[in-house]
C-alpha cells in the first residue's frame, strides 16, 4: 500500500531503537497504535493518519527533515565512518535515521552543509546541470598570478587539464604572514568538482589554508551557528531552496 510503513520500521526510523529493540518493545506490548496495544511488528499503517505511542510517549512522525549545519573541521561529510565523527552525528535533534549531507565538504573545510533525507531536493541542488551557486571564503597563501580574477572569470584550467566553469573572485584583503603573501577572498563557483576551490587556487599559484562555505543557492550560513552547531531550516529557507 502506498504511504504505509511497518510498525517496527517506523519506530526504528524515528530513532526509538534498533530494529530488534523496537520489535522487542512491540512484542512486550509497550507500543500503542491509536490507543490500542499492537503486538505485530509487521503491522502496516499510514504514519500521517494514526498516533503511535511507545512507553507512554507519542512518537512524533516526521517524513522529511532539513537541517543547516555549520560543519567544523575534523568531521567527515558522510553518514558513517570508521575513523572520524560524521556530520550526521552532530545533528542532535534529528528524528529520522536516514539523513545524509547534500554534497561534501573536505574534512578540513568548515561551513554550510545541508542535512536532509529529501533525496529529490538533494538531487536538484547537486545536479551539474543546475549550476547552483556556492560561495566560499578562502584564506590563500602564496603569490597568485596577477590576472587571477580574470582567469577565474574565464574558467581556469586545473593541473590535470580539466577546465572549470567561470567563477567570480573577490579579493577582500592581501597582506604578509611569516614573510609570505596571503590573501583572503570570496569565490563563487557554479559546480562542485572534487576539491574544486583548492585546485583552482593551486592552478593560480596559491595554497588554500582555510576554507569555509558561506552559501549554497539561496541558503546562507546562519552567522549565529558556531562550528558544530545546527538548526532546522526555517519555512522561508526551505521555500527559497525549493524555488531555486
Ligand atoms: N572545494 C574544495 O576544495 N573543498 C571543499 O571542501 C569544497 C570546495
Q: Encode pLDDT of 187-223 as tens digits.
A: 999 999 999 999 999 999 999 999 999 999 999 999 9
**What is the 196 CA–ligand 1 centroid distance (Å)?**
5
Look at 8-17, 111-120, 145-154 and tell me which has the smallest mean pLDDT: 8-17
**What CA–CA distance (Å, rounded) separates 55 from 24?**
12
Tell whether the model's pLDDT for residue 180 goes beyond 50: yes
What's the pLDDT score for residue 199?
98
What's the pLDDT score for residue 36?
97
Give the 3-state secondary structure of residue 148: helix
77 lines ligand 1 (CB under 6 A): no
Give CATH for domain 5-58: 3.10.290.10
Residue extents of the structural domains in the chain? 5-58, 66-128+218-243, 134-216
What's the pLDDT score for residue 102?
97
Same topology for domains 5-58 and 66-128+218-243, yes or no? no
For residue 160, indicate whether it is catalytic.
no
What is 134-216's CATH superfamily? Alpha-L RNA-binding motif (3.30.70.1560)
Q: Which residues contact 27 (CB under 8 A, 6 or more apart)?
A: 39, 41
State the chain's mean pLDDT as an integer.
95
**What is the 1 CA–ligand 1 centroid distance (Å)?**
43
**What CA–CA distance (Å, rounded) separates 44 from 34?**
13
Tell whether the model's pLDDT for residue 1 goes beyond 60: no
Give the cell for residue 223. 552567522
Tell whether the model's pLDDT for residue 27 goes beyond 90: yes
DSSP collapsed to 3 states, 159-187:
CCCCECCCCEEEEEEEEEECCEEEEEEEE
CATH 3.30.70.580 matches 66-128+218-243: yes
What does the chain come to in residues? 244
198 lines ligand 1 (CB under 6 A): yes
What's the pLDDT score for residue 221?
98
Angstrom CA distances, 107 to 21, 65, 76, 133, 139, stand at 33, 24, 5, 21, 16
Nearest to 167 by CA among 206, 143, 136: 136
Tell whether the model's pLDDT for residue 41 goes beyond 50: yes
Give the cell for residue 242. 525549493
**Which atom of ligand 1 has the smallest separation from the CA of 109?**
6
Buried b (16+ CB within 10 A) or exposed e, 196-230: bbbbbbbbbebebeebbbbbbbebebeeebeebeb
Nearest to 99 by CA among 83, 81, 114: 114
Give the cell for residue 125. 541542488
124 lines ligand 1 (CB under 6 A): no
Q: Whose CA is nearest to atom 3 of ligand 1?
A: 195
Give the cell for residue 49. 493518519
- Give phi and psi for 58, each to the nearest 5: -70, 140
Amino acid at each position: 500500500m502506498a504511504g504505509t510503513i511497518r510498525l517496527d520500521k517506523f519506530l526504528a526510523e524515528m530513532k526509538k531503537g534498533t530494529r530488534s529493540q523496537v520489535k522487542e518493545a512491540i512484542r512486550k506490548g509497550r507500543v500503542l497504535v491509536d490507543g490500542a496495544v499492537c503486538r505485530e511488528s509487521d503491522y502496516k499503517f499510514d504514519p500521517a493518519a494514526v498516533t503511535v505511542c511507545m512507553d507512554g510517549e507519542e512518537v512524533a512522525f516526521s517524513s522529511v527533515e532539513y537541517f543547516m549545519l555549520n560543519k567544523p573541521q575534523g568531521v567527515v561529510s558522510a553518514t558513517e565512518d570508521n575513523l572520524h565523527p560524521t556530520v550526521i552525528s552532530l545533528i542532535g535533534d534529528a528524528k529520522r535515521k536516514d539523513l545524509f549531507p547534500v554534497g561534501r565538504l573536505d574534512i578540513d573545510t568548515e561551513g554550510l552543509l545541508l542535512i536532509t533525507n529529501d533525496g529529490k531536493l538533494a538531487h536538484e541542488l547537486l545536479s551539474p546541470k543546475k549550476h547552483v551557486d556556492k560561495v566560499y571564503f578562502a584564506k590563500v597563501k602564496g603569490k597568485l598570478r596577477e590576472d587571477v580574477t580574470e582567469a577565474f572569470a574565464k574558467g581556469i584550467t586545473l593541473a590535470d587539464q580539466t577546465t572549470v566553469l567561470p567563477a567570480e573572485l573577490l579579493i577582500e584583503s592581501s597582506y604578509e604572514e611569516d614573510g609570505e603573501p596571503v590573501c583572503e577572498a570570496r569565490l563563487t563557483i557554479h559546480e562542485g568538482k572534487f576539491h574544486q576551490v583548492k585546485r583552482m587556487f593551486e592552478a593560480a599559484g596559491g595554497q588554500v589554508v582555510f576554507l569555509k562555505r558561506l552559501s549554497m543557492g539561496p541558503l546562507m550560513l546562519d552567522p549565529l551557528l558556531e562550528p558544530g552547531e545546527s538548526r532546522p531550516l526555517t519555512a522561508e529557507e526551505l521555500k527559497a531552496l525549493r524555488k531555486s
